[in-house]
Amino acid sequence: MRIFLFLVLISFCACQTNSQKLNKKEPSASSDLVKIEKTEKEWRTQLSEMEYYVIRDKGTERSFTGEYWDHKEKGTYLCRACQLPLFSSETKFKSGTGWPSYYKPIDESHVAEDTDYNLGYARTEILCARCDGHLGHVFNDGPEPTGLRYCVNSASILFEPAQEMPK
């Protein structure tokens, strides 16, 4: 019994440590985002059924089915609901999970985090900081330099190709 309680305590502490690591954020000069608030009806008019399910109901698309999981073009990934720039193709990497993955956002103040224990362990949800749209989750198993994996639903983002330099 003591061993069981000890293991439970260690697991809880590990979850707390991981959660604290993920929730550390540096303040940013561009954190003065004006919040976008719409009614459920306005969001339903703007978003497709799948987009609404993921962005507003905090759903998840099936792995390997989204538009951007294997996307390799150079450019910027924006919030589908409000077009806030979120991730650069420069930080996108192949995680093998079937969802687009990035090791850092364009600006940390553009991505909000909310940790929950709904599944019995710490899981950190990522949201658009301007419209509170659900993007996915962040995990601490990503590549250097951050060690983070921002695992994003394709239904939550739009891609804007990089502009070519005139010759």
Question: What amino acid positions are annotated as catalytic residues?
Answer: 151
Number of helices (H) and strands (E), helices first, in the chain?
3, 9
Q: Which residue in 94, 95, 76 sits closest to 86, CA to CA?
A: 76
Q: What are the φ/ψ torsions at residue 53 (nearest 5 degrees)?
A: -55, -45
- Do residues 128 and 144 make contact, with C-beta atoms less than 8 angstroms apart? no
Residue with tokens 């695992």: 151
Q: Which residue in 150, 158, 53, 34 sits closest to 102, CA to CA?
A: 150
Distance CA 35, CA 51 (A): 19
Residue with tokens 């804007």: 160
Find the farthest-apart pair of alpha carbons in the chain and give their distance in angstroms, rounded: 72
- Do residues 112 and 36 make contact, with C-beta atoms less than 8 angstroms apart? no
